[in-house]
């Protein structure tokens, strides 16, 4: 792989492109590299897979639909139909028409006053929703930044991927560990965990110099990419079945999965 490709892959542009954070010029540059260099295409395909992994733990609700709210308000606004008045030939009926017009003017004035009050109230609500929308945008930016940072971690050449499958006691168990000894970070993606009785749980351990160090409890309800403690010079990862709440000492007789890190 030549220096030009290495420089591009380490620039972070590919990750930004994948989450839609590139400028038009950057987008053009990335798409040129993807179409021209197979190494970049392969890296892009890997990133797409990694994005699926991190997306599970960064789901964000869509912002409130301000447009629909406005349209609903418009739909509720009454339509005033102008009806033609009869032409009276006799002059004395003009006084009746004048009285009617005065009453209509008074009623219309009251109606528009009420509408103005309602509009003022709706404006306050609309302003509040605008602020809520700004908060949503800020939260979305934070979530997008979190996705970007996790993508960088997963795409780091120093990050090793370990697929942990269950043994005969838990055939459906599957988790994926991502360990970076350079950055001293560890993450685990819980793919599937067979159901256990309420009084039991799964616990993950690092085997270190003849000792088993607890790295936390795995929960089917928390199927997402999560950080776990980094164990320096760990020889293996083990998953055991323990009493609810976890155990201080690993029950190796209840081991359901193991993978070597060496």
Q: Show me where the domains of the chain are located.
A: 1-78+109-155, 160-260
Contact 164, 177 (CB under 8 A): yes
pLDDT in the model for residue 122: 61
Max mean pLDDT range (45-59, 87-101, 115-129, 147-161): 147-161
Q: What is the pLDDT of residues 164-184, one digit of tens each?
A: 999 998 999 999 999 998 889
Residue 108 pLDDT: 54
Q: What angle do CA 197, 259, 185 make, to 5 degrees?
A: 95
- pLDDT of 44-64, one tens digit each? 888 877 777 766 655 545 445
What average pLDDT does range 5-22 have in this prediction?
83
Q: In what order do the strands lie in the sheet with 185-192?
A: 160-165, 174-180, 185-192, 225-228
Give the Cα separation of 41 and 47 in Å (integer): 10
Instruction: Give the pLDDT band of residue 114 (cuts 50, 70, 90).
Output: low
Average pLDDT over residues 214-243: 88
Q: Cβ–Cβ contacts within 10 Å for residue 196, how many?
A: 15
Average pLDDT of the chain to the nearest whole number: 76
pLDDT at 97: 46
Per-residue pLDDT at 85: 38
């Amino acid at each position: 792989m030549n220096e030009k490709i290495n420089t591009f892959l380490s620039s972070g542009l590919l990750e930004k492109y994948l989450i839609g954070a590139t400028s038009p010029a950057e987008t053009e540059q990335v798409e040129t590299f993807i179409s021209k260099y197979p190494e970049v295409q392969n890296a892009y395909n890997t990133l797409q897979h990694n994005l699926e992994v991190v997306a599970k733990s960064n789901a964000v609700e869509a912002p409130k639909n301000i447009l629909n709210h406005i349209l609903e308000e418009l739909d509720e606004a009454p339509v005033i139909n102008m009806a033609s008045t009869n032409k009276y030939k006799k002059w004395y009926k003009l006084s009746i028409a004048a009285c009617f017009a005065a009453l209509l003017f008074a009623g219309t004035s009251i109606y528009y006053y009420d509408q103005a009050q309602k509009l003022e109230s709706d404006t306050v609500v609309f302003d509040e929703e605008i602020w809520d929308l700004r908060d949503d945008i800020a939260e979305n930016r934070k979530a997008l930044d979190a996705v970007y940072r996790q993508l960088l971690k997963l795409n780091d050449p120093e990050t090793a991927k370990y697929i942990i499958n269950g043994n005969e006691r838990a055939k459906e168990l599957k988790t994926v560990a991502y360990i970076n000894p350079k950055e001293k970070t560890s993450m685990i993606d819980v793919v599937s965990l067979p159901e256990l009785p309420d009084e039991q749980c799964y616990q993950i351990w690092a085997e270190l110099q003849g000792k088993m160090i607890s790295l936390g409890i795995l929960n089917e309800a928390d199927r997402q990419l999560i950080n776990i403690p980094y164990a320096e010079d760990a020889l293996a990862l083990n998953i055991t079945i323990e009493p609810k709440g976890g155990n201080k000492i690993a029950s190796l007789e209840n081991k359901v999965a193991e993978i070597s890190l060496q």
